[in-house]
Amino acid sequence: MELIHVIMAGVTAIILFVFGLENFSAEIEQISGERFRRFLARATKIPAIGVLIGALVTAVIQSSSATSVIAVSLVNAGVLSFKSSVGIVFGANIGTTITAQLVAFKLTAFAPVFIIVGFLLSFVRSKISIFGKSIFYFGFVFFCLNLISAALAPLQNEPALIKYLIQPQNPLFAILVGCLFTAAVQSSSVTTGLAIIFTQQGLLSLENAVPLIMGANIGTTATALIAMLNMDFAAKKTALSHFFFNVGGVLIFLPILLLFGDRLNEFDSNPAVALANIHLVFNVVASLIFVVLINPFTRLVDMLLGEDKMDFARLAIPTFNEQTAFGRVKSDLRQNLADLLGFLQESYNLVTLSIESNYRSIFEASAKRMEYINFLEKEYVGYFAKAVSSVSDERESRELLRLHTQFDYLFQIYDSIEDIFNTKKAMSKHYVELKSDLLLMVRKLSSQTLVLFDDIRKPLIEGNQLDVTARAKELQEMLDEINRGLLPLLARPDRPDVGTLSNFVTYSRRLKDKLETLADLLDSQQAVLDETSPDETGLASR
């Protein structure tokens, strides 16, 4: 009966520990919000930095599963490329070792201090009160580990259990147990924390504990694997990379474990500290090996899963710096303007191609681009808000506002492309397919619109004057002709596809008008530049 009470108390403490971890993670993510995601997007282009960020983020939110899910969702949104996300995945495992170190060195004794401070902070009428819950749950997580330790202490008096846990077991079986348990509780920190507590109390031998924490690394990938199910191809590659990486790390160290595992019990002085250090070395060495081999690793993933032809290059994310000369700011923005216009052109092409071809993969690729442009729009809104408020020179303010207006029209162009995308989404929802006569109209209209995009973008890149009057007139005549052709078809009940194309024509007309207005804005800007002397434009030398 006493054993049942001990088990019930231990299970309750473990449940509280899992609850604390989940809430601590949620609080940190809520505080960081969109800034956290933007930070990841900017800083992960170099794999080594991605590893460091993944480790730090995981150490803070105490969940490699949460970090990997965030990375997968950012790839799915198009904010991160597959290769940029891999570094975060590698670093996430290193971040989990902080829990093991805190438990091994018995720093959990300070848990009540964090609980009290966090509780009191939540009542303070100040901005710092938002950290109250995070600090509270941080202390709560480690307080629960103390509860687990206290609840399971009576098991030290069960010689049969101690004998079973201390006797050498099959390391492959221990790896499987660690993997399954971690997948069930969705946190490797739980498995690692329990292993170290059991080792501290003499309930678990080091030889049996090491394969458990190795298995935990594989089990922690379950959350990301579940999260990837409804996501796009690149996101699935990120989740599977997490799995391949953790399995690979175990396979690298497994021969060492099989050959020298029986010598682990020689760490008699402090086996819990030894376990924490082995956990740290295991994850750091595995991450370093995979960072060095990141190119062949990503190529292997591409080879196994197929290279994602629909993925796209990410654009430069604007970052405002008050120290940057205005001439450089203006030059960078004009380059970004051309790049973004080109990206919108490619996105429009993909959206209309999804209507023509009805291929699901093309539709999903265009959806990813739509989400990515939404992300960019928020970035530019924040950028111009900072830039406009910091510029005091009247002439510079006018030029910055002119650029802001041009970017605003670019995102209005995006709105029309999104309307066309939503038309395709409605077609898929209601199983509407365009007949061949309408498909030809879509192809003619999209081809002519893409030419109008070219007529704006090429002179913008080359710094030449824009004149799209003839092209816009030609496109308008085509729109009028298509509208006239649709009128008799609208009355036919056997042609539900005609109404859909009518919406497509309406949105195409709006897109044409916005492109024409953008061309006028860019043309007037170019005229101003042509009239400005070199001395006036060379502001970067100030």
Task: Let me know if residue 20 belongs to a domain.
Answer: yes
Nearest to 282 by CA among 96, 84, 105: 96
Last residue of a domain, one of 272, 305, 338: 305
Same domain, 298 and 330: no
pLDDT at 538 > cutoff 60: no
Nearest to 96 by CA among 203, 303, 249, 253: 249
Same domain, 127 and 231: yes
Average pLDDT score over residue span 236-246: 86
Quick one: CA torsion of 204, 210, 215, 221, rounded to 10 degrees? 110
Number of Cβ within a 10 Å radius of residue 266: 11
Task: Let me know if residue 316 belongs to a domain.
Answer: no
Rounded to the nearest integer, the mean pLDDT of the chain is 80
The percent of residues in the chain predicted with pLDDT above 70, rounded, is: 83
Using only the alpha carbons of the chain, give its radius of gyration: 29
Average pLDDT score over residue span 291-302: 86
Task: Let me know if residue 113 belongs to a domain.
Answer: yes
Nearest to 188 by CA among 62, 102, 101: 62
Residues constituting the chain = 542
Which of the pair, 61 or 495, is modelled with greater confidence? 495
pLDDT recorded at residue 108: 67
Task: Let me know if residue 447 belongs to a domain.
Answer: yes
Same domain, 342 and 458: yes
pLDDT at 45 > cutoff 70: no
Same domain, 358 and 297: no
CA triple 134-140-143, angle to 5 deg: 150
> Domain limits at 453?
326-541
Structure tokens at 505: 């024509």
User: 461-495 pLDDT, tens per residue?
Assistant: 887 888 888 999 999 999 999 888 888 887 777 78
Q: Which residues of 318-346 are buried (b: 16+ CB within 10 A; e: fewer)?
A: beeeeeeebbebbeebbebbbebbbbbbb
Same domain, 66 and 140: yes
pLDDT recorded at residue 495: 81
Same domain, 331 and 299: no
Same domain, 368 and 296: no
Average pLDDT score over residue span 378-382: 86
Number of Cβ within a 10 Å radius of residue 286: 23
Structure tokens at 308: 């994602």
Average pLDDT score over residue span 212-231: 78
Task: Let me know if residue 321 belongs to a domain.
Answer: no
CATH number of domain containing 497: 1.20.58.220
Task: Let me know if residue 129 belongs to a domain.
Answer: yes
Nearest to 254 by CA among 297, 221, 210, 289: 210
Same domain, 354 and 498: yes
User: 428-454 pLDDT, tens per residue?
Assistant: 888 888 888 888 889 999 999 999 999
Task: With beta carbons less than 8 A apart as the criterion, state whether 437 and 424 touch.
Answer: no
Task: Let me know if residue 330 belongs to a domain.
Answer: yes
Please provide the distance, in angstroms rounded to a whole number, between the alpha carbons at the two ends of the chain: 82
* 534 contact partners, CB below 8 Å, separation of at least 6: none
pLDDT recorded at residue 103: 72
Same domain, 285 and 351: no
Task: With beta carbons less than 8 A apart as the criterion, state whether 182 and 191 touch.
Answer: yes
Same domain, 196 and 280: yes
pLDDT recorded at residue 258: 84
Task: With beta carbons less than 8 A apart as the criterion, state whether 174 and 208 touch.
Answer: yes
Same domain, 298 and 358: no
Average pLDDT score over residue span 305-316: 65
Same domain, 483 and 512: yes
pLDDT at 171 > cutoff 80: yes
Measured in degrees and rounded to the nearest 5, phi and psi for residue 382 equal -65, -40
pLDDT at 417 > cutoff 90: yes
Q: Is the dihedral of CA 261, 267, 268, 274 positive or negative?
A: negative
pLDDT recorded at residue 228: 67
pLDDT recorded at residue 257: 85
pLDDT recorded at residue 137: 84
pLDDT recorded at residue 427: 86
pLDDT recorded at residue 536: 40
pLDDT at 133 > cutoff 80: yes
* 344 contact partners, CB below 8 Å, separation of at least 6: 373, 410, 413, 414, 417, 453
Which of the pair, 46 or 296, is modelled with greater confidence? 296
Give how many domains the chain has, as a whole number: 2
- The whole-angstrom separation of Cα 427 and Cα 422 is 8
In a 13 Å sphere around the CA of 230, the CA atoms on its Cβ side amount to 1
Task: Let me know if residue 314 belongs to a domain.
Answer: no
Last residue of a domain, one of 305, 334, 352: 305
pLDDT recorded at residue 231: 63
Residue type for position 504: F
pLDDT recorded at residue 362: 86
